[in-house]
Every structure is written in structure tokens, then in C-alpha cells.
Amino acid sequence: MKKLFALLLVLAMVLTAAACGSAPAAEPTTPAAPAEPAAPAAPAAPAAVKVGVSMPTQSLQRWNQDGANMKQQLEAAGYEVDLQFGGDNDIPTQVAQIENMITGGCKVLVIAAIDGSSLTEVLKTAKEQSIPVIAYDRLIMNSDAVSYYATFDNYKVGTFQGGFIRDTLDLDNAAGPFNIELFTGSSDDNNVNFFFGGAMSILQPYIDSGKLVVKSGQVTLAQCATPNWSTEESQKRMENLISAQGYGPDGTKLDAVLSSNDSVANGITNALVAAGYTKDNFPLLTGQDCDKPAVKNMIAGIQSMSVFKDTRTLAGQVVKMVDSILKGSDVEVNDTTTYDNGTGFIPSFLCDPVFATVDNYKELLIDSGYYAEGDLA
């Protein structure tokens, strides 16, 4: 567009110069009123290219941060941003918002799906209109409209959690057996296959050998899932486990609880605290995201660990993807063999998650400017 404009400008100048040069400067006999030279119409500033960013919910800290980081970094790169949050994990709202982004002229869509499998229809329209789609953090399933995927190494997140329980209980050396209960996230989120799968790749052999005992018998992903990653749901399930198995500081010993993220861990913590557990006898409890309440719980000595996924890094990577797509240059990916969405492997960029505990949170979260010290007071 710019080139065409420049070409036309040059052509106009050449023609004007030629016209001036060829016409002999004849003195007009009847001087006409000097016409005001028409001011050349100022070329309209090119409209910024619009990018649609669809996030699942505003009820969880991380998605607010993801949305804000994406908007800020895309705008800094010169794009206009249509940022939407799908109500409180409301699928029809997210679908309608994406439809509006398509009709509203977005040239690329960046989507963190509420339900990885519910966008097939709306994304057909995106594909028909050649609008590239980047799956953000969560893979969008069963759609050939997905061009790229950017996330953290989700399997590694799970191995951090499982590895932490193995090492802290010293499962290879201690006599045991140890009691554990297992929690993961929403089964409509493809990430849980990797979080739970990664953790169980480490824990399952100890369950099989009897070193770890899951008294409830709830070990499948379906049994351990938490709808919508809801704190209330995980609290309810933990309360039920406490009463059914008799767990408590003075009851059946509970050594560890695997939780795939912090919102689920927070519900587990609420139930355990209500059952009388304190920092002196709290079971090992894992998490992910370094949400503020979870970090405060780590500082208070109850939640044992979390996984830091710097949303600024993910947003930065996705902004690079958007920019490369729109400029027609190569898009940087570092994995093409892990994430199959049912239509084939999606070229992906996996960012590195970082193991977090009370021992390194200051360096990870405060020194890096992710939180201010007061956020965690």
C-alpha cells in the first residue's frame, strides 16, 4: 500500500515537472485571478492493523495479567487491540466475542480457549476469511484454523510437581507408605493432560509399588478433575475426602496433595485449614502460577511450591508471532511434535516454566518486577 502510494506520488511529481517544463511560460494577456494552489490532501494515516485477543475469564489473576500484557505489548508494536474476556468462563460469550472480532476486521486472533473443543464452528469463519489464529496457553482442539500455539512447557510443569513430592518425601529411600490425594484442573482444558500426565509419570510407579497410597482410590484424570479450575469445587472435594477418609492432624495422616495449579490449591488449603491443619503439620501441597494468594500461603508455610510462568514472557513471544505473521516473515517455533489438536501437530513455541518455593520467590517475583513487595504482604 505504502509502495503504491509512493509510486503514485513520484508519478504525479514527474508529470507535474514535465507539464511545467513543456509549457512555455507565456505571459497571460488577461491575467486570471491567481487560483489558490489546491493544498495536496494529506494522506490519511494508515489505520492500525487490529488484533483480537480473547481471554477465558477475569476471575483468575493470571488471565487479567495475560490480557493486560498482550494489549500493552501489541499496542507498543503499533497494533490496535480488541481485548475481550469470556465473562466468567462462559463459552457462548467467548464464541460471540470471537465472531465480533472477525466481523470487526481483526487480522489475527489470539485465543486462550475456555473449552478447547468448543471453537470449531466459529473458527471455520476465521479460516474462510484467511485470518490466522494463535492458540494462547491452551491448545484449541479439532480445528484446522489454528496456525500456531504458544504456551509453557506444560508437561514440565507436571514433572516439577510430581518431582517435588517424590524428592521431599524421599520416596526412593524412606520406608513409607505415604498417603496422597490427587487434584488436577478442568478436563475441557487440554493442558491438564500434560500437567496431570507429567506429574503422574513420576508418581504412578510409587502408587503401583504401594509406597504412595491414594486412600480414596481416585486416580484417573476424570476422578481428579476440577471443573473450571474452581477454588470452590476443589474445596468441596477436599472436604469430602477429609470426611470420607478421616484425614486430619489427629486423624488419618495425609502426607501430600498433588494440585495442578494455585486456584485448585487454594480450595484444598481452605479445606485443610478448616480441618485444623497448620504450618506445623500441613501436607505437602503443589501449585502453579504463583498467584498472589498462593505465594502468601507459601510464605505462611502452608502451600509448599508453585510454578512461575512469567506471563510477560508468553505475551512477548505471542506478539513476536503476530508481528511475523503480519509481516510475512518466518514465525519462530521450537516444537512441532508435541501438540496435536486432532487435525495434526500445531507448530508451537514452549516457554520455560520455573520451579518456585519460599526460598526463591523474592528473586523470581519481586526482583523481576512481577510483583511489588506490598502485593504479597
Residues that bind ligand BGC (CB under 6 A): 60, 62, 137-138, 185, 189, 191, 229, 261, 263, 288-289, 309
Least distance in Å: CB of 192 to ligand BGC? Answer: 8
Minimum gap (Å) between residue 152 Cβ and ligand BGC: 7
Is the bond leading into 31 cis (omega within 30 degrees of zero)? no
Nearer to ligand BGC, 179 or 226 (CB): 226
Residue closer to ligand BGC, measured from CB, 194 or 282? 194
Nearer to ligand BGC, 288 or 304 (CB): 288
Question: Cβ 309 to ligand BGC, closest distance in Å?
Answer: 6
Residue nearest to ligand BGC (CB): 261
Looking at the Cβ atoms of 262 and 323, the one nearer to ligand BGC is: 262
Closest approach, Cβ 249 to ligand BGC, in A, equals: 29
Cβ nearer to ligand BGC, comparing 178 with 361: 361
**What are the grid coordinates assigned to 124, written together?**
471455520
Residue number, 153 or 323, with CB nearest to ligand BGC: 153
Of residues 147 and 261, the one with the C-beta less far from ligand BGC: 261
Nearer to ligand BGC, 109 or 140 (CB): 140
Cα angle vertex 253, ends 247, 256, to 5°?
95
The least CB distance from residue 311 to ligand BGC, in Å, is 9
Least distance in angstroms from the C-beta of 6 to ligand BGC: 46
Q: Closest distance between ligand BGC and the C-beta of residue 184, in Å?
A: 10
- Give the nearest distance from C-beta 181 to ligand BGC in angstroms: 19
